[in-house]
Amino acid sequence: MELHQHPPYCKQHNLPSEASFRFSRGVHPAVAEIGVKRGLQFMAAWAGGTVAPGLVDMYPLKPKDSVVEVTPKDVKRLLGIELTNEEIGKLLTHLEFKCEITGSSVKVTAPPHRMDIGEGVVGLADVLEEVARSYGFDKIPTTTMSDALPPQIGNPVHEWEEHLRDLLVAIACRKLSPIE
């Protein structure tokens, strides 16, 4: 049985096909092994055969799972709620994240099917969004900004165009767009 992972160049070079459309939506290559094993189970059950052990994997670049360090201080600063490392781990484990408590932080590894979880600062925001969702948005207290709003700086070119547009409308000018 063969399973093919379409590389992104199908989309980049405008090489459309039914298969490239189906598989270009972000299927993590690690899920391919699970799919092949399940397909082989069905083939063996329906055809009455046996499956040879092992798989041949020709994927050139094994993708790495996103790993993010999360601390209770991050949760407090960005979500405004107090959670322990254990509570953070429990909330994320329910969503199939692998969590390892290391001292004062939780090392979070995203599951293969979660290709939307990044790394670094973006990954931290992604993981904390999942913490908030699992914790319950309705349980997070609302707060007001502690500082005053920064001074608003206008866009002089845009303001001039808006003023000119208002003047032209005031003297009954209308905008005409050519039909292409």
pTM recorded for the entire structure: 0.61
Handedness of CA 12, 16, 21, 27 (dihedral sign): negative
Q: How far is CA 19 from CA 8, 12, 24, 112, in A?
A: 12, 15, 8, 21
Residue pointed to by tokens 């007001």? 144
Residue pointed to by tokens 């001292």? 103
Lowest average pLDDT, out of 10-14, 64-68, 96-100, goes to 10-14
pLDDT mean across residues, the chain: 84
Quick one: which of 108, 142, 150 has its CA closest to 126? Answer: 108
Q: How do strand 67-70 and strand 98-102 relate by DSSP bridges?
A: unpaired
Res. 142: pLDDT tops 60: yes
| Nearest-angstrom CA–CA distance, 146 and 153 | 21
Kindly compute the dihedral angle of the four CA atoms of residues 24, 29, 34, 38, in this order, to the nearest 10 degrees: 40
| Nearest-angstrom CA–CA distance, 101 and 109 | 12
16-52: per-residue pLDDT in tens?
776 666 555 566 677 777 888 888 889 889 988 888 8
Per DSSP, the three-state class of 26 is: coil
- pLDDT score at 143: 81
- pLDDT score at 98: 95
Quick one: which of 24, 22, 21, 19 has its CA closest to 8? Answer: 24
- pLDDT score at 4: 60
